[in-house]
Structure 1
């Protein structure tokens, strides 16, 4: 098969690498492409070897694999419209993975020299390429476990460094003041200035480090199945907002004057249930182009699959030979079923002590805000510190008075100083009170599963109340942040209307994000239900068409056997 020049140009215009190039520039690239057809199972590039060509997949499918400890591991599967070999051509190092065909594949290849020339001649192509390489290297480094086996990351980026710079301004200023205080303490007579300045410098360094980690833990991701916004506050909050490509309604870009100068802005992805903002993302125009490309590609694939499914149903109804059923596209792949999840005691005592949102096995679990915890453990915490202070004061007193001792041995018996022992024993009930209040807070959880929502209130060593509702019965959701503290610290309530009943996720962090989680799960559940209904409707139509096909010959013969007079009367 020979790909004509106009077909090559139309093909290149759909790929984000060539977005914003002029027609003349795209034509120049198309003229340099060389066609290669490879059978299934053919090795194109080998791991550890150098590569001198860049490849575009015009038709077919390839596998990206690497060998680790003697075992082959699949990294990705690329289809028509994807490309590979760009890092080997630009970085000139050995390849970290192998590429082989899964089916007969038609490739369009570009030599290293032509590729490098286009990078030098076309600045926009260079920018697009830089984004692609950065995304693939970062995706290779992070390797998210929640990605499905055939899911490919096409775009992965953090927020623009300007946001990190803004976050570090105050810590840097306070750190500079603390450093000047250290110098003053070293030169002055007052040692307390030195001590306070050293402590202040340590706090500001820790604050700046935490700000850097917070900035580095937020990611924007575009795959062949969905768009994702990962947001994480270490030890407290872990959020993944996502939308399947098939639910996207529009993609927009918003930039300020400063953003246009520094090439950052907001990419707004609007879906059926709201929007997913890529805030302060670098190269916003290119990021939006990538989302649009794979959004449109998923729609084309869905249309082709619907046609193929209808043809397959007709063949079955007509009793014709069955053809192999095409695999479900990545954008419509079904998630694995999961069951409701409850955090274990071990998890509570380890990594999830103060986390307000976490996801496990497809179930999202929320706790109430830390202000609720502080309210519950406030008094026991104060009393514990009072008794600890009294214990420390008693220990100091025992150390200062010669005839008093913490532990004495009388007639072979060990005796602990009575007041110290009394204070120690008196502290224990308040510790148990604190633990009880914490467990009461941690066990009051809200969950969103793929099928239902749950409000679980379990008293420590006591009763458990559980309210639930199927996702398909949800009529509406509403998120509220009440009061000044709710607005300042972003917590509030989410109300879910289910028939005549209303469930409330109370005092949750970021109620708008919680509402979005619920709506996204509801949309996914309803889409799955609609897919089942579509299959039933397709089978019904196939029955109708098959019956018509089986009887059409009989109807034709009946019409032919009619006398001319009967036809004229009719």
Structure 2
């Protein structure tokens, strides 16, 4: 049938579709393979645009494929041990164990290929000269396309110890009005550089945005410009201005570090346009309350460890080495407990950004971290409770943030709780106002374009202009000058003249400089050669 079809195509003159173009057409959309290397030695994918080229292809780091293959490795090791054991010790059970191990290997291999390898292989990031495409899924494939002309900034991080060791991490693409995150990609710095280069080329090739047309009338232009002027909400303070930006190429987040002198970076990651408004520390009252007992104990045991041996007590003198060891351990433990209490207090921070609230609780430096986050739009109610009279005198209290349908977030024992409540309400109102102003500014921009075109056309069409001076012009020249200004010329008559060549304008009506409506008529009298009769009459 194929030969007959080809013959019919040749007879009818229908051009044969190249194989690569056929693969890139709709026929391949239902196949598993969505990406292949074409005959032109370039990568192609389903839905590729005609002027689109593939720059980079990424999948998750191979380490995640190895982790998924651990059951298969365990079964292989078991089979090797069985084979080794059968060579060392004769037993009728070895063949049976070999069969079980072989079946287990086949089952683990089939499960690994179906469940892990195919899913890993199809989970692909394609970076082209126009967009980033993320496709994943086997039976229910999904695909996300992100244009690169909306990119504002690109950040990257090596999030974990294994990521730092094996060089894989997260690439965060900050977009206009959103974010796109690529997780566990190999060599994230190279990916970031590639996206930065593409976005710079797109910005360089993009034509500059044309300004809306402005009427020539300065008063009308000023009114339109004033109505279209965008309004910005009053800016909130930026709490990170006093901190150093340690990683300019990293993902956006709080600049404040944790862990005291260790300066451990915060693991919170901000969205596009997000920044820190305020860090809220728990009250020093909490710190003093927790550290009081260890300090008192240290003040007792430290002098006691030196004073008791000096008194020549028989029991201590006979076990002086043991005494120093025990007291040294107690003093070191008390000092460590003081350091841990201080670190935990410093790291127990609440972060108010311009978009979210973060409750961060780090314990034991970097061994434990608990974090909750909340968007301002989800806040239903905020209230303050002061548990006792002492805290009322010290201006300390608990701030309760009520969320509809979710557990309440509590900011316990913070200084100036009513100020914190007012600050959260202020940021919440700022977020609401900023969203409303953003919509208004977008509408103003559209209306500015529309009004600029309409008003400019109306002003141009109704503008009064003066009649040009057509004197001593020939008829064609006079008609051209008048047409440029929106007027037309009509010949009213001829007049014999000796001083003006024939066919030129002797006089016009209305005279030069007279204001007339666009499209108005200018009547002209042309010169003609004077005859003998005309001279006699003259």
**TM-score, structure 2 as length reference:** 0.34
**TM-score, structure 1 as length reference:** 0.32
User: Could you say which structure has the larger radius of gyration?
Assistant: 2
